[in-house]
Amino acid sequence: DVKVTQSSRYLVKRTGEKVFLECVQDMDHENMFWYRQDPGLGLRLIYFSYDVKMKEKGDIPEGYSVSREKKERFSLILESASTNQTSMYLCASIPRGVWNEQFFGPGTRLTVL
Amino acid sequence: GENVEQHPSTLSVQEGDSAVIKCTYSDSASNYFPWYKQELGKRPQLIIDIRSNVGEKKDQRIAVTLNKTAKHFSLHITETQPEDSAVYFCAASINQAGTALIFGKGTTLSVSS
């Protein structure tokens, strides 16, 4: 079974703090993704990575950055957290190849006060 | 940019009825169209997908149809059961390999017994 884990289920931070969300997958997948999920807005792609040290912007990259130093780990960074970044953040991974299922992590609910 | 519109946003049916969710996409290069189901408090999971060279695909009570000319695709659930109650997301690929996806905003399906 593919396992995608995220470092925290719930996180509370203050405005202006630097926030790190970690995602780890154990299936040697090349591709990893970060989404945010908000009621009525669905899943919006923030960034994705198709290899170590590679990254691509998704739909809503503003205010976020990412890091992929190891194949199994993909980090989402909020340089200076703001209240409008309060959301559920979901990580996903898929292997190399075409048209594969994305395996999602359990999500991190981030609240920025 | 690329966009996926999903309708309706909420759908209530009686057990045993059929349910249809419709999506349209904007990028004519999209070639992969998965559907994900997210039960309350859980992570999204793939339930069915279709590729651009196929018009219809069926898996037991679930079917998906694709009209590439009109850039429409639909999810059909027959003989609905209470355990079908969930949020359903359609998605369209934004790269050739189908690894990066743009999701619709979701449809909350409620099946009452």
Distance of CA A63 to the CA centre of its chain: 13
The predicted-structure confidence for B96-105, as pLDDT tens digits, reads as follows: 777 889 999 9
pLDDT higher for B97 or B42?
Answer: B42
Other beta carbons within 10 angstroms of residue B96's beta carbon come to 12
Min Cα separation A85/chain B (Å): 18
Which of B34, B46, B97 is nearest residue A98 as measured by Cβ atoms? B97
Other beta carbons within 10 angstroms of residue A62's beta carbon come to 7
Task: Give B54's pLDDT tier (boundaries 50, 70, 90).
Answer: confident
Paired tokens of B24: 């349209």
Burial of B95 (0-12, 13-18, 19+ CB in 10 A): middle
Angstrom CA distances, B65 to B36, B50, B70, B99, B110, stand at: 15, 8, 12, 21, 22
Residues of chain A with pLDDT under 70: 1-2
Range list of H helices, chain A: none
Which of A31, A56, A90 is nearest residue B43 as measured by Cβ atoms? A90
CA-nearest residue to B91 within chain A is: A43
Chain A partners of B104 at a C-beta cutoff of 8 Å? 42
